Structure 1
Amino acid sequence: MLHLHLTAIIVAVILFIAVYGMYKKNNTAENKPAFIMHMVLRVFYLLVLFSGIMVYVGNMEGISNAGSHMQYGIKALLGILSIGFMEMAIVRLKKNSATANVLMVVCVIAIIATVIMGAMLPLGMLSF
């Protein structure tokens, strides 16, 4: 399940960059390809959330033994914030709001913090 979660995260970030670029280039009502990709991105948001919950539930015993419940809670909060900022940045760009660029920067910071936090957890690649 961890591989599904990591793959869904990577695909969601790539789709986010593509959708953001498509709306930045052509922000009109006739931009159907961007709208369709945005809907696919929303499906991947759900897949990331579902697979993250399944990874947590599947490794509950190891998390308890390691005593890292708080770290996983912070990681989950950062993940949810990342997804929220991704969606808000795209919607604000779609509505031609001035805060779209600020939300994009906050979104990138949240994604980087989430990835670093996930890599440091016991299931991550940087755990010792």
Structure 2
Amino acid sequence: MDFLTSSTHLHITTWVIALVLFFVAALASKSKGIHMALRLFYILIIITGGALFIEGMDYNMGMDYGIKFILGILVIGMMEMVLVRKAKNKPTAVFWVLFAIFLFAVLFYGFKLPMGENFLA
């Protein structure tokens, strides 16, 4: 298995685990430990995404991968805002909506790019 394939699978695995942890933390009443584990996965997502971004330069699609990278950072930001505002008992509806929009955009954009998995083929 070459680096490109393994890093893509590692990236997908980290964000799937992070999404599961996020929803568990959002539904749990006390989620401090889960939230800390989720922050570790944020770092892993950024590292593996950065590796894919560097690999994306070989496809001469740096801007497209850069946009996806920024969308991914926005998703992580909205996840963090939801959990922090929930812990402070502040309204989170706007951040849930932004999270859903950014998540849809980053998934659509990521699977459309050349290193993405093509589920329709």
TM-score range, shorter chain: 0.7 to 0.9
Normalised by the length of structure 1, the TM-score is 0.83
The size of the alignment, in residue pairs, is 114
| Cα distance, 1:59 vs structure 2 | 4.2
Answer yes or no: is the 8 Å Cα contact 2:53–2:62 preserved in 1.
no
Match of 1:8 among 14, 17, 20: 14
Kindly name which structure, 1 or 2, has the bigger radius of gyration based on alpha carbons.
Answer: 1
Tell me, yes or no, if structure 1 residue 46 matches structure 2 residue 52.
Answer: no
1:68-122 CA deviation, whole Å, 9 max, x = no partner? 2221111011000000011001101111112x12211211111111000000001
Distance 2:73 2:105 in 1: 12
Tell me, yes or no, if structure 1 residue 74 matches structure 2 residue 67.
Answer: yes
Q: Which runs of 5+ in 2 are unaligned?
A: 1-6
Normalised by the length of structure 2, the TM-score is 0.87
- 3-state SS, counterpart of residue 117 of structure 2: coil
Q: Which runs of 5+ in 1 are unaligned?
A: none
Tell me, yes or no, if structure 1 residue 110 matches structure 2 residue 107.
Answer: no
Distance 2:117 2:55 in 1: 18
Identity %: 37
Q: Where do 4+ consecutive residues of structure 1 move more than 6 Å?
A: none
After superposing the two structures, state which structure 1 stretch, 1-10 or 100-109, moved more: 100-109
Distance 2:35 2:98 in 1: 19
- 3-state SS, counterpart of residue 114 of structure 1: helix
Cα RMSD of the aligned pairs, angstroms, is: 1.6
Match of 1:121 among 89, 113, 117: 113
User: Which residue of 1 is the match for residue 25 of structure 2?
Assistant: 19
- 3-state SS, counterpart of residue 40 of structure 2: helix
Answer yes or no: is the 8 Å Cα contact 2:71–2:106 preserved in 1.
yes
